[in-house]
Amino acid sequence: MLLLVDLDGVVYRGTKPIPGIADLLARRVAAGDEVVYVTNNSMWYRADYVERLAAMGAPVSVDRVVSSPRATALYLREVDPGIERVLALGGPGLGRELADAGFTVVMAGDAAERVANEAIDRFEAGGRPGAVVVGLDPGLSWERLGVACTAIRAGALFIATNRDATYPTEHGLMPGAGAVVAAVEAATGVSPVSIGKPAPLLLQQAARVVGADPRAAVMIGDGIRTDLLAARAVGARSVLMLTGVSTRAEAEALRGPERPDAIAADAFELEAALRRLRGG
């Protein structure tokens, strides 16, 4: 059985592991299940997750972490093999994932500095990219937005890593990648292809890593409007965890096709749910 496992709110919450989850996933792998981690977070590189998950005792390898930047890079390589240069408006993890897929990457921050220091055209500073990929950029500026918008108006393909409006931090909710995407969309009048949940592309790419059909997977996540919708979009079964953003009242209010196949409040309930789903 393929388990597509969300990270924040399922395996850990902030800096703290959620009790029992890493051990449970290790047991599932030992029993023959496949585990691929899926996250909308566009800030970090896959190796960063591997180090963190391994320290918790979770079964992990770099190819079993499919973040929205990784899925974006894979999608972009497939959808237009002729694209060589990509402008990235986002964090360093986004740039590294695109470079790993063989693209020549220009970071919007670097292009904006060239515009300011060398007084050159924004399109030239961006390297005349074939695609613009937009994620969460903590250093977002008017000039970085301008470089991205100029390239999209010139015909570059517009890809969003995800459309999460907010991003949870220790200081509370901050603007997420979706807020940056919305600014670019408003300024250009162009709607992007969105990769992350609730769109199906992230889960499709994750299932492809192990050569599986996403319809055979079980999505384990804590988000009703992201994880559950993405599972439904690809025809996968789902388990809603109550260890993150969703409450039991919200879960019990779901009706018909909105309902997950199981609801779990902790690792013990998740293990029982997976046993039932595997036998079904």
List the domain boundaries for the chain: 2-40+198-279, 81-194
User: Would the pLDDT of 168 be above 70?
Assistant: yes
What pTM was computed for the model? 0.93
8, 110, 261, 266: the catalytic one is 8
Mean pLDDT of the chain: 94
User: Would the pLDDT of 103 be above 80?
Assistant: yes
User: Would the pLDDT of 280 be above 60?
Assistant: no
User: Would the pLDDT of 121 be above 60?
Assistant: yes
DSSP structure string for 80-146: -TT--EEEEES-HHHHHHHHHTT-EEEEHHHHHHHHHHH---HHHHTT--SEEEE---TT--HHHHH
Tokens 């991205």: give the residue. 148
The H or E element spanning position 39 is: strand 34-39
Average pLDDT over residues 49-55: 95
Annotated catalytic, 23?
Answer: no
Q: Does this chain's domain 2-40+198-279 share its CATH topology with 81-194?
A: yes
CA dihedral 155, 160, 161, 165 (to 10 degrees): 160
81-194 is classed CATH 3.40.30.10: no
Annotated catalytic, 6?
Answer: yes
pLDDT digits (tens, 9 = 90+) for 28-51: 999 999 999 999 999 999 999 999
Beta pairing, strands 131-134 & 172-175? unpaired
pLDDT of residue 119: 73
User: Would the pLDDT of 52 be above 80?
Assistant: yes
User: Would the pLDDT of 229 be above 80?
Assistant: yes
Q: Model confidence at 167, in pLDDT bands (50, 70, 90)?
A: confident
Domain 2-40+198-279: state its class: alpha beta
